[in-house]
Amino acid sequence: SPVLVAKDLSVTYKNGHTALSDFTLDVRPGEVVALLGHSGSGKSTLMKAVTGLAPATATQLSVDGTDIPGANAATLRAVRASTGYVFQHFNLVPQLSALTNVLTGGLHSAGPLSRAGLFSRAQREQALALLARVGLADKASARADSLSGGQQQRVAIARALMQGPSLVLADEPVASLDPRLAGSVLSLLRKIAHEDGIPVIVSLHVVDLARRYADRFVALDAGRITHAGPVASLTEDM
């Protein structure tokens, strides 16, 4: 069954601007879905609507069976805690180690001791295993700001996985990276989807990257879906 169900999803911001109109998409375990579209086409708005951060109306909008429109604050907190978010600018704490940055990904679900900075041995071991998974076992104690952009983004992905997410939302995760590093980040997201079954929605503005690393695509223009399908059907003008 799908992890994300969006049916006739629309978002109109307070200023009256409609950023997304009648957006329909199901995302199943193990899929990488690329969101394509120019700046301002509604890609970030979709990701925010999924976690209740944008004002959504829909026939249905649910994550892992939880309805988002009308959900109370506690329910939205739980949905955000089970959604891994990866940003364009990584959003690591620069002066903290890679390991500590990964550990903070578990804070949503952690108890008061963890919030005070005392992580359990099990949490540390899990964070170290995730750093190994993203190819950074040897960088656990390196400060985040000493790492390359591609390495920082892989730490950010490990941090998202520390949440034990049922869905990963990656908002332009490679827009700040050169093409070689972009490939290392996107192949990692693909591995997470295909090996762990965690679906990934990734916004991209390079069609060729979608073709290489995603399974399906949805192209947006001014908040509306213009094309969608398997990436094999992508053409340059989408």
Nearest distance in Å: CB 125, ligand ADP: 25
- Closer CB to ligand ADP, residue 91 or residue 226? 91
Q: Compute the least distance from the CB of residue 156 to ligand ADP, in Å.
A: 10
Sites of contact with ligand ADP (CB under 6 A): 13, 15, 17, 19, 37, 39-45, 47-48, 51, 53, 80, 83, 85, 87-89, 91, 171
Nearer to ligand ADP by Cβ, of 60 and 88: the residue is: 88
* CB of 83 or CB of 166, closer to ligand ADP: 83
**By C-beta, is 105 or 128 nearer to ligand ADP?**
105
Say how far apart CA 170 and CA 189 lie, in whole Å: 9
Q: How far apart are CA 190 and CA 53, in angstroms?
A: 26
Q: How far is the CB of 133 from ligand ADP (least distance, A)?
A: 21
Distance CA 47, CA 182 (A): 20
Rounded to a whole number of angstroms, the minimum distance from the CB of residue 219 to ligand ADP is: 11
Token digits of residue 61: 């909008």
Query: Alpha carbon of 45 to those of 124, 128, 157: distances in Å?
Result: 34, 33, 21
Nearby residues of 176 by Cβ (< 8 Å), 6 or more positions away? 88, 89, 149
In the chain, what are the helix, strand and coil shares in percent, each to the nearest 5?
40, 25, 35
